[in-house]
Structure 1
Amino acid sequence: MEHDFISAFIVLLIVADPLGNVPVVLSLLKDVPRQRRLWVITRECAIATVMLLLFMLGGDALLKAMRLSQVALEIAGGVILFLIALGMAFPSMGVTVASAEPDGEPLLVPLAIPLLAGPSALATVVLLASRQPDRAWSWTAAIVLAMVVVWAVLASAQRLSRRLGPSGLVALERFMGLLLAAMAVEMLISGVRRVIAAAPHA
């Protein structure tokens, strides 16, 4: 499955799931002084961005070191994305990356990792970099833009929660889960096709 800037941006934005993380962020920051909340969100988004960029830059070397093929990563990434999509569309059936709430101000875990830069997001950027290394600038721009949007959503978490209400947030998250599921299935189909094409023919 070939990606361009727009599709990479959309996948990363859906995987980071800023709308779905609004209730989690509000819960994590409930004991943080109001004047520090924007700073905490900014810091955690910056950490997540750096982690994604590091994995993008070192993705090919990581694959070689672990002796993993691009096809294996594509299929595994599709499976992970599909499980995350199930969790978004059907919370009782899917996988959640949320962890126990920490005391005080969250640092690195669980907001930056794994809620924003989780396994699916990291696998996505590694896959992008390994499949199309000549488009590194496009992937960098997609990562940065996606995280800017994530930051804007999380910075407005209190207002969004009041305006949309619990049912509105759930509806949006499930719609995004549907989109992510379609993209995950496309990744799986692409990976299976490449395996079949590479298999020796009798």
Structure 2
Amino acid sequence: MESSFPIISTAILIFFILDPFGNIPLLLSILKRTEKKQRSKIIIRELFIGLSILMIFLFFGEQFLSVFHLDTQAITIAGGIIFFSISFKMIFPDPNNENIFSKKDNSEPLIVPIAIPMIAGPAALATLLVLAKTNPNHVGDLLISLLIAWGATFLVLFFSPNLYKILGDKGLNALEKLMGMLLLILSVQMFIDGVRGLLPTFH
């Protein structure tokens, strides 16, 4: 009997990768020169564009990987390494990392940099590629997980001005570090699963 797919835990993993709390200062910096009336409209539009891109990679990611003849175990191990790197940067951010997406004019952002790479960034796309490859029979469940994670991200970013006022810089940094720690644990587990899957091939 086929085991059920962990929709909630997968949604949490995707949510960690999307890192909405870590993106709040960046988002507010991008939109600080736009009119307050336009901010909500811009956030909603960019989030839906980002979701569309994520869904494309979810449904066609396996075909993309098959072109390069990549094994499931290799993808799982590579994903664990990628997530480890992401989590490490979340826990120990670079103090000299400047915000390259800060805008110096009043133009309205379109697709870049909010939809890409803030929402549909390399980490999120790589995550969906890994999940689609390692769970080819659960694409529908993966879509539900993606929608849950995206919905939570939507709420966080849409109400980000209020969250920023409540939590402040220290609160947001603490949340991002907590998410980084949890992602670190998940990345190690993914690496172990990939190695365990390779062991029978050495007999």
Judge same fold: TM > 0.5, yes or no. Answer: yes
The amino acid across from 1:197 in the alignment is P
The superposition leaves residues 24-81 of structure 1 with CA deviations (integer Å, 9 ceiling, x where unpaired) of 0000101111111111111111111111111111121111112222222111111111
The residue that corresponds to 1:154 in the other structure is 157
Asked if 2 retains the 8 angstrom alpha-carbon contact of 1:78 and 1:184, the reply is yes
Q: 1:135 aligns with which of 131, 138, 148?
A: 138
Q: Distance in 2 between matches of 1:190 and 1:63?
A: 19
- Partner of 1:50 in structure 2? 52
Deviations along 1:84-120, whole A, 9 cap, x unmatched?
1111111039xx8964324422222221122222222
In the other structure, the counterpart of 1:70 is: 72
CA RMSD in angstroms, aligned pairs only: 1.9
Letter in 1 for 2:102: E
Find the aligned partners of 2:98 and 2:61 in 1 and give their Cα distance: 22
1:166 equivalent in structure 2:
169
- Asked if 2 retains the 8 angstrom alpha-carbon contact of 1:97 and 1:115, the reply is no
Q: Which residue of 2 aligns with 1:118?
A: 121
1:81 to 72, 80, 83: 83
Normalised to the residue count of structure 2, the TM-score between the two structures is 0.90
Alpha-carbon distance between aligned partners in 1 of 2:99 and 2:47, rounded to the nearest angstrom: 16
| Structure 1 unaligned spans of 5+ | none
Which residue of structure 2 lines up, in the alignment, with residue 187 of structure 1? 190
SS in 2 for 1:133: coil
SS in 2 for 1:101: coil
Percent identity over paired residues: 38
Q: TM-score of the superposition, structure 1-length normalised? A: 0.90
Q: Which runs of 4+ in 1 moved over 4 A?
A: none
Alignment: residue pair count: 197
CA distances 1:101-153 after superposition (whole Å, capped 9, x unpaired):
24422222221122222222112212222222221111111111211111111
* Contact 1:5–1:142 (8 Å) recurs in 2: yes
Match of 1:108 in 2: 111
Q: Which amino acid aligns with 2:78?
A: A
Q: Deviations over 1:138-178 (max 9, x none)?
A: 11111112111111111111111111111111111100100
SS of equivalent residue, structure 1 residue 100 = coil
Q: 2:26–2:101: 8 Å Cα contact kept in structure 1? A: no
Q: Which amino acid aligns with 2:145?
A: A
**What secondary structure is seen at the aligned counterpart in 1 of 2:109?**
coil
SS of the residue 1:58 aligns to: helix
Q: Distance in 2 between matches of 1:29 and 1:12?
A: 25
Conserved? CA contact 2:61–2:132, under 8 Å = yes
Amino acid at match of 1:142: S
Moved more, 102-111 or 162-171: 102-111
